[in-house]
Amino acid sequence: MSPPTNKEETQAFLSAIGFWRMHIPEYSQIVSPLYLVTHKKNDFHWGPEQQQAFLQIKQEIAHAVALSPFKTKPDVKNVLYSAAGNNGLSWSLWQKVPGETESRPLGFWSRSYRGSKANYTPIEKEILAAYEGVQAASEVISTKTQLLLAP
């Protein structure tokens, strides 16, 4: 697949890959350079940042994580991991099932900072990531998340 050559092709590409956003950790941060070239106020310029993002997201899709179905047994623990980086927030929801050695992924979420939130201190960004992670997790599971971890 060749890279997009204008705003419309870039928007079409982003729409086509949107399905994978819950399967790819830090999806928003990876594709943010692609969104920059779609803004009305920006002229279309495909630079090295966009090319790197384009190649990386294609690679991530090829190795996307298969999500597990949600289990509602009382002994199953829901684990939420959240993180805040320079470019945005990310969080993931996992389940630890007794008798299984590995946790099961239920979904990955991420987004870029909006407005003044980019100017938050690191601890404020971590709190925001945890808060938004709990909100996203509550849409997936009706029970409360038993454990919250922030690396």
What are the extents of the domains in the chain?
Answer: 7-62, 77-149
Predicted TM-score of the model (pTM): 0.75
pLDDT at 124 exceeding the cut of 90 = yes
pLDDT at 109 exceeding the cut of 60 = yes
Res. 144 pLDDT band, cuts 50 70 90: low
pLDDT at 47 exceeding the cut of 90 = yes
pLDDT at 116 exceeding the cut of 90 = yes
Residue (of 58, 9, 16) closest to 37 by Cα position:
9
Once rounded to an integer, what is the mean pLDDT over residues 110-120? Answer: 91
CA distances from 15 to 12, 69, 125, 126, 133 (A): 5, 25, 28, 29, 23
Question: What whole-number distance in Å separates Cα of residue 143 and Cα of residue 146?
Answer: 9
Residue (of 2, 6, 61, 65) closest to 31 by Cα position:
61
Say which CATH topology domain 77-149 has: Ubiquitin-like (UB roll) (3.10.20)
